[in-house]
Amino acid sequence: MSSQRAQRVAETIHKEISSLLIKGLKDPRIGFVTITAVDVTPDLRQARVYYTLMGSQDERTQTQVGLDSCSTYIRQQLGRHLRLRYIPEVRFEYDASFDYGQHIEQLLRDVKTDEQQDD
């Protein structure tokens, strides 16, 4: 399998899951989720879907539970729209890079404030 094929499948899965989230899944635990990336194994059997959302740790936990419970439904919907012999198993993982970026920005603001106070 070429990595280009896995990348194309990942992009298609990204679009399909984003579309499902925009249309709205009926699970009230799922908050305002943004899909940031999709990684597909070279054999196209598993897809790791990275997401982010704004909110507290409790909201993140509830969203993770909601997404995990909807993964079978999402996989069925992918099966209807993708032309693949095997539909990848979908696993959702929280993407902490946004939180990390905010933390770095806060540190930079703190350093700038400290420098301004020293002057």
Alpha carbons within 13 angstroms on the beta-carbon side of residue 54 total: 1
Which CATH number fits the domain that encloses residue 41?
Answer: 3.30.300.20
Domain range for 84: 3-118
User: Running DSSP on this structure, what letter comes out for residue 96?
Assistant: T
The pLDDT tens digits of the residues spanning 60-112 come to 899 999 999 999 999 999 998 888 888 999 999 998 888 788 888 888 888 88
Residues facing 92 on adjacent strands: 49
Task: Please tell me the total count of domains within the chain.
Answer: 1
Residues facing 110 on adjacent strands: none
- Phi and psi at residue 24, in whole multiples of 5°? 95, 115
3-state secondary structure (DSSP) of residue 42 = coil
User: Which residues neighbour 6 within 8 Å (Cβ) at sequence distance 6 or greater?
Assistant: 40, 41, 42, 44
Confidence of residue 2 (pLDDT cuts 50, 70, 90): low
Per cent of the chain over pLDDT 90 is: 44
